[in-house]
Amino acid sequence: MADQENPERRDEPDPLEALFGGPVPPELRETLNSMGLSDLGPDQVAQMRSQMEMLMGSGGDDGPVNSELAHDVARQVVAEHGDSTIGGATRRDVDQVVQVATLWLDQVTDMPRPEGSAVALSRAEWVERTLPVWERLTTPVAEGLQAAMTSAMEQQLGQLGEDGAPSIPGLPPGMNPAAMMGQMTPMVRRMASSMFGGQVGQAVGTLAGDVLSGTEVGLPVLGDEDVAMLPANVAAFAEGLEVDSGEVHLYLALREAARVRLFAGVPWLGPQLLTAVEDYARDIKINTEGIEEAVRQVDPQDPEALQGALGDSLFSPEPSPAQQAALTRLETLLALVEGWVDVVADQAAEGHLPHAEAMAEAVRRRRATGGPAEKTFASLVGLELRPRRLRDAANLWAALESKHGRDARDEAWGHPDVAPTGADLDDPLGFVDRHGALASGLTVTDEDIEKLLGGAAAPEEESDEGRGDEGPRHP
């Protein structure tokens, strides 16, 4: 009778291979057999595998950031805080204020208008349009988290397998837990991907409830040249001001339209900002000791507790030299962008918005107390982002325009090698003088050509010598 049953059993799927998704090492198979797992039926195997995949975050997304989970969490956060569909009347209002802001900006800058449109976004729509950029910026950190969690798990299982180490409840004495690592590694990577995806979704969803316009964070996160406003958030911001909400909306539209015009008119600026964030994130050091402590102390069957423990100790406190260089470059660029926006928007608002000065001060207070960008970067890449040199940058742009005119102010963005640096923010008047000398030195006259043909020193050599005072491009 047994001879007749064996062929039938051989035709059935191996429950252990079905459970773990592939061949099972002999040592692990023997241990699992002793636990009775080899007798599981197909329905039990399917149920256990579903629970394991849910626990380990398997959702078909094996990238460093679980994009699907990030999207779902962000949308859930937005829904919990409230969001509504934007009606046609509101969209027409946004289109009108952006048109007015564009006309006013035309009077104070010759940078061309962006090719995008005026857009009114709900919080959910802002999430949809910006999430791909946030995933790109956080991928280097997520990759480091995957590697660190895998290493911590390997070390922990290796220690449990040593002689005299306490056994894992449910596993027979003498079994080496390290033998399980080959099966667990993909699951650990998926867990890290899901944990970080959830963190990205939480941060972006929260940010969507606070950000006033498409690029208020200072980065071109929309990926196009649309001038986008979030009417619900603008209305909430206006409630705290003793200013008509229409005037507030116009002033914020001026700032957004100016920022988008700058990103559109200076092609190198947006990519350099995003690259600086990626450079900082790529060199980030994961706090391996903190992760190992979390793995030891937190129940692995409680993903939320593990995520919370890791979130408190994910990043090493001291930035590396490469990170510090990227941070300096990023802070300088952000300050220059916002300083330029301050100068241009305030000029455009003059004579049109009676409370422009009060609204400018409200925006400065918003940034000083930790704006939305700072909170988001702190949670995602351990980066407390704040344009600390903002006033210095605004003073530099104002001084440059005062001495050399509006065209000189905007032409200073012409190339990254001639744009102001962190050292220039320390000495804005010196930059203004050097910029004027450089501009005049680039004018080639007939006399210059005769000197060059006669073997005399070329004017370019003199201007190069002058440029040496500017210091390194990337402090």
Q: Write the DSSP assignment of 343-400 as a string of letters.
A: HHHHHHHTTT-TTHHHHHHHHHHHHHTT-HHHHHHHHHHS-----TTHHHHHHHHHHH
Q: Please determine, for residue 90, whether its predicted confidence score (pLDDT) is greater than 90.
A: yes
Over residues 359-384, mean pLDDT: 74
Whole-number pLDDT of residue 312: 52
| 3-state SS, residue 93 | helix
Compare 298 and 401 and report the one with higher pLDDT. 401
Instruction: In the chain, count H helices and then E strands.
Output: 22, 2
φ and ψ at residue 57, rounded to 5 degrees: 85, 20
Over residues 98-122, mean pLDDT: 95
Q: Please determine, for residue 13, whether its predicted confidence score (pLDDT) is greater than 70.
A: no
Q: Which of 392, 454, 449 is nearest to 424 (CA)?
A: 392
Computed over every residue of the chain, the mean pLDDT equals 76
Residue 289's contacts (CB-CB under 8 Å, 6 or more residues apart) are none
Other residues' Cβ atoms within 10 Å of the Cβ of residue 317: 8
Element (DSSP H or E) covering residue 457: none
Give the least confident one: 29-43, 144-158, 366-380, 421-435: 29-43
Whole-number pLDDT of residue 439: 59
Whole-number pLDDT of residue 463: 39
Whole-number pLDDT of residue 193: 81
Residue 442's contacts (CB-CB under 8 Å, 6 or more residues apart) are 463
Whole-number pLDDT of residue 348: 96
Whole-number pLDDT of residue 260: 97
Give the least confident one: 49-58, 243-252, 398-407: 49-58
Q: Please determine, for residue 460, whether its predicted confidence score (pLDDT) is greater than 90.
A: no
Q: Please determine, for residue 382, whether its predicted confidence score (pLDDT) is greater than 70.
A: no
Class of residue 468 by CB neighbours under 10 A (exposed 0-12, middle 13-18, buried 19+): exposed
Whole-number pLDDT of residue 227: 97
Q: Please determine, for residue 40, whether its predicted confidence score (pLDDT) is greater than 90.
A: no
Q: Please determine, for residue 228, whether its predicted confidence score (pLDDT) is greater than 90.
A: yes
φ and ψ at residue 50, rounded to 5 degrees: -65, -40
Q: Please determine, for residue 55, whether its predicted confidence score (pLDDT) is greater than 70.
A: no
- The residue written with tokens 């972006």 in the block is 204
The DSSP-derived string for 144-189 is HHHHHHHHHHHHHHHHHTSTTPPPPTTS-TT--GGGGHHHHHHHHH
Over residues 418-431, mean pLDDT: 91
Whole-number pLDDT of residue 186: 73
Give the least confident one: 94-103, 403-412, 449-458: 449-458
Over residues 194-220, mean pLDDT: 88
Cβ–Cβ under 8 Å, residues 219 and 270: yes
Other residues' Cβ atoms within 10 Å of the Cβ of residue 420: 25
Cβ–Cβ under 8 Å, residues 197 and 243: no
Compare 75 and 384 and report the one with higher pLDDT. 75
End-to-end CA distance of the chain: 82
Cβ–Cβ under 8 Å, residues 338 and 397: no
| 3-state SS, residue 229 | strand
Handedness of CA 233, 235, 237, 239 (dihedral sign): negative
Whole-number pLDDT of residue 170: 45
Over residues 86-115, mean pLDDT: 95
Whole-number pLDDT of residue 4: 44
| In the chain, % of residues over pLDDT 70 | 61
φ and ψ at residue 414, rounded to 5 degrees: -60, -30
| 3-state SS, residue 267 | coil
Q: Which of 348, 332, 196, 382 is nearest to 261 (CA)?
A: 348
Structure confidence by residue, pLDDT tens digits, 251-269: 999 999 999 999 999 999 9
Question: At 5, is the pLDDT very low, low, confident or very high (cuts 50, 70, 90)?
Answer: very low
Whole-number pLDDT of residue 147: 77
Per residue in 162-180, is it b (16+ CB within 10 Å) or e — as a string? eeeeeeeeebeeebbbbbb
Q: Please determine, for residue 279, whether its predicted confidence score (pLDDT) is greater than 90.
A: no
Structure confidence by residue, pLDDT tens digits, 165-199: 444 444 445 445 555 555 567 777 777 788 778 88
Cβ–Cβ under 8 Å, residues 393 and 335: yes
Whole-number pLDDT of residue 259: 97
Compare 176 and 359 and report the one with higher pLDDT. 359
Q: Please determine, for residue 453, whether its predicted confidence score (pLDDT) is greater than 70.
A: no
Whole-number pLDDT of residue 277: 87
Question: At 362, is the pLDDT very low, low, confident or very high (cuts 50, 70, 90)?
Answer: very high
* Euclidean distance between CA atoms 167 and 159, whole angstroms: 10
φ and ψ at residue 88, rounded to 5 degrees: -65, -35
| 3-state SS, residue 120 | strand
Over residues 212-227, mean pLDDT: 92
